[in-house]
Structure 1
């Protein structure tokens, strides 16, 4: 494990459950942690030219009871489908903001995976152009199918 990834793990970037506005967990979810991709997102010319590592976490809420009972892949969403979506967005056309990267991951996941009712996406940059030490900088967004028609 890379030293920066260990710091991020110890500092909670790749841990913790999403809670709803009332503070309780929302139920069953698919969990993807510590996805790493090289992308060319950012406002600065150097970020666009050289690229950098991005760290991604995704939680995708859906009812997993049917899959748990049937043991049938058709009753769930494949982790690999969500992984592919994240990979395509992060390694795809550059965005200026991490917010845009996270939004694209969330909206694409909700659009392509109809069983998912909500998605949480964390996008982090371990190597940032700031003066001073940081473990990472990033964003975390939550999108709900029933509330957000743009997802």
Structure 2
């Protein structure tokens, strides 16, 4: 096995996370970046021995568009837990949730939260 990384950048969806009632009702755009540290089989060319990044992307999207939470920290943690459950080949996951329209009272480009979780 080889130490490897898989990165998915910019998984986007309109979702309803946030503390404010308007965020829950109207929703807003979110995006997620995920980096997986994996045990990578670079010799066999066998899909069954790889982490299927299409599955990872779909599971991230499912959490992102699923049950609303107040905090993007909670959202990042839920995404990380979901991704880690996909394959035993995933050793660590880094999840960044971007909330570019966060209601912080000033003009800014983005608010992002990143978490890292390890497989058990």
TM-score normalised by the shorter chain: which range applies?
Answer: over 0.9
The DSSP-based 3-state class of the residue aligned with 1:117 is strand
Backbone CA RMSD of aligned residues? 1.0
Distance 2:80 2:102 in 1: 23
Task: Choose between structure 1 and 2: higher helix proportion.
Answer: 1
The DSSP-based 3-state class of the residue aligned with 1:69 is coil
- 2:50 is the alignment partner of 1:76: yes
Instruction: For structure 1, list consecutive stretches of 5 or more residues without a partner in the other structure.
Output: 1-26, 147-151
The residue correspondences of 1:17-28 to structure 2 (distance < 5 A) are: 27-28=3-4
Task: Choose between structure 1 and 2: higher strand proportion.
Answer: 2
The DSSP-based 3-state class of the residue aligned with 2:83 is helix
Distance 1:111 1:131 in 2: 37
Give the aligned length.
118
Query: Which aligned segments of 4 or more residues in structure 1 are displaced greater than 2 angstroms?
Result: none
Higher relative contact order (CA 8 A, sep 6+): 2
The residue correspondences of 1:89-108 to structure 2 (distance < 5 A) are: 89-108=63-82
Instruction: For structure 2, list consecutive stretches of 5 or more residues without a partner in the other structure.
Output: none
